[in-house]
Chain A
């Protein structure tokens, strides 16, 4: 047991000569002051790692964020291990077994990561990852093909936002079949989304920018000429998206199916009627506020035979 006035010989002595007066009540000896100093260094490092990203962002240097985030984490970890856990004061084999565990984790990482980090394997594909990074140039532009190949992975073939990649991301892509969407849809916002991506709108980063993909490419446009292709192609895609727009009035209820049931047929809740002059105001596509008739939905009911079988089955369940 050391008394408080014992002479100090080194950092690890039991004197309190180095403890600042204000902290004497809290820190009993120089040893504890040493811990406190370590804590102050850790705090300083934390502050740097906290403000690093702001500096990195201001200078557009992501590398700064990476260095301040992970470089500092390693330094902090080293300080805690050395000064708080006293790893180096233990017999050698203690750090050796810790290092062994760490080496196995690194082996795991470098064996597995190359596969996980790619966007495609023999039997699987990371469509969300691939579609967000895919900005390859499009040569022969056909809006239907482009929709299927470049947009439907997220937005779904039918525009419902339920493509294989669409269901994997959050927030979900826009549902182009929803009346609520078209009530507030805006041509310029759509065009910006397609040309410059969701980021340009402060919205989801999942929505990629297609300006370069739609550009004339090498040998296409002439020197000094404004490339109008991205704009034109975007208009074609917007027109394509407009085919998903549901008809303005509530769709006629499907013909009642002749299945006997005791339940009263629920009356379909009326869909909100969209005022088309408002909804389509933003669209230069529809001159004079004319409504483009949406294609009638193809009848996709069950076949006659199937209905008969179902009716028979239900009858068996309900009436026997």
Chain B
């Protein structure tokens, strides 16, 4: 274990320091997305007129992306299971599938936004659309960041290196999935 970063080996708190760091990251993300979603909910209740804007979001596209993310989460946790057995190459394969789902999510999102923007529903069209693009945009940024980091973890895992990180990126990924679990009803269903 010589030469390894201390974060992966120290377990003062009963969890590896790396995992503790990811949990702290998630705590801060709860505040970021929680604040955003709480603001959305109160504004949505205070603005009955937003219903007219919200009626234009496409529940089929939102639903498709919900399934894409749920399935990507399954692949992430299966990668974790493989890594837990010390099977780095399988973990890497499963992470690759997870990244594939992330790319699919982003493609669907790009198609969705292009359609909406070309119909005039831009970020300045109304208060609803402002929230819509900011919330879904920050979420998509998390998908992009997660997929990139997952790529690095995958390359290491393929050579059976740093298998502990497979769980760490998985934790983050499940959190991003969690955010979408709430964004979906907020932006696509209850309107």
Residues of A within 8 A of B (CB): 1-2, 14, 27-29, 31-32, 35-36, 38-39, 42-43, 46, 49-50, 52-53, 65-66, 68-70, 72-73, 76-77, 80-81, 83-85, 90-91, 93-94, 97-98, 100-102, 104-106, 108-109, 112-113, 116-119, 126, 128-129, 132-133, 165, 168-171, 204-206
A187 and B65 alpha carbons, distance in the complex (Å) = 44
Distance of B41 from chain A, by nearest CB (Å)? 7
Question: Is B110 close to A, CB under 8 A?
Answer: no
Interface readout for B40-65 with A: 1 if CB under 8 Å, 0 if not? 01110111110111010001000100
Contact B63 A46 (CB under 8 A): yes
Distance of A202 from chain B, by nearest CB (Å)? 11
If A113-B42, A132-B48 touch, does A108 touch B35 (CB 8 Å cutoff)?
yes
Question: Is B148 close to A, CB under 8 A?
Answer: no
Contact sample, A vs B, 11 pairs, CB 8 Å cutoff: A53-B59, A53-B189, A65-B189, A73-B182, A81-B174, A84-B174, A91-B15, A108-B38, A116-B43, A129-B49, A168-B126
Interface readout for B53-79 with A: 1 if CB under 8 Å, 0 if not? 101000100010011001101101110
A171 and B87 alpha carbons, distance in the complex (Å) = 56
Chain B residues with Cβ under 8 A from A65's Cβ? 189-190
Chain A residues with Cβ under 8 A from B133's Cβ? none
Question: Is B185 close to A, CB under 8 A?
Answer: yes
Contact B52 A205 (CB under 8 A): yes
Interface readout for B155-191 with A: 1 if CB under 8 Å, 0 if not? 0000000000000001100110110011011000110
Contact B74 A77 (CB under 8 A): no
Across the interface, B15 reaches (CB within 8 A) one of A52, A90, A100, namely A90
**3 nearest interchain CB pairs?**
A105-B34, A69-B185, A117-B46
Contact B30 A102 (CB under 8 A): yes
Across the interface, B70 reaches (CB within 8 A) one of A42, A50, A109, A168, namely A42
Question: Is B105 close to A, CB under 8 A?
Answer: no
Contact A119 B46 (CB under 8 A): yes
Across the interface, A170 reaches (CB within 8 A) one of B24, B27, B41, B126, namely B126
Chain A residues with Cβ under 8 A from B177's Cβ? 80
Residues of B within 8 A of A (CB): 13-15, 19-20, 23-24, 26-28, 30-31, 34-35, 38-39, 41-43, 45-49, 51-53, 55, 59, 63, 66-67, 70-71, 73-74, 76-78, 81-82, 85-87, 90, 120-121, 125-127, 129, 170-171, 174-175, 177-178, 181-182, 184-185, 189-190
Given A73-B184, A116-B46, A126-B47: 7 more A-B contacts, CB < 8 Å: A66-B190, A80-B174, A98-B30, A108-B35, A126-B46, A129-B49, A169-B49
Chain B residues with Cβ under 8 A from A126's Cβ? 46-47
Specify which of B73, B86, B170 lies most central, judged by the most chain A CB atoms within 10 Å of its CB.
B73
Chain B residues with Cβ under 8 A from A77's Cβ? 178, 181-182
Specify which of B35, B55, B90, B178 lies most central, judged by the most chain A CB atoms within 10 Å of its CB.
B178
Contact A39 B27 (CB under 8 A): no
Contact A105 B181 (CB under 8 A): no
Distance of A206 from chain B, by nearest CB (Å)? 5
Distance of A81 from chain B, by nearest CB (Å)? 7
Chain A residues with Cβ under 8 A from B14's Cβ? 90-91
Contact B31 A129 (CB under 8 A): no
Nearest opposing residue in chain A for B43, CB measure: A116
Contact A168 B127 (CB under 8 A): yes
Distance of B95 from chain A, by nearest CB (Å)? 15
Contact A101 B34 (CB under 8 A): yes
A35 and B181 alpha carbons, distance in the complex (Å) = 18
Chain A residues with Cβ under 8 A from B47's Cβ? 126, 128-129
Distance of B167 from chain A, by nearest CB (Å)? 9
Distance of A197 from chain B, by nearest CB (Å)? 11
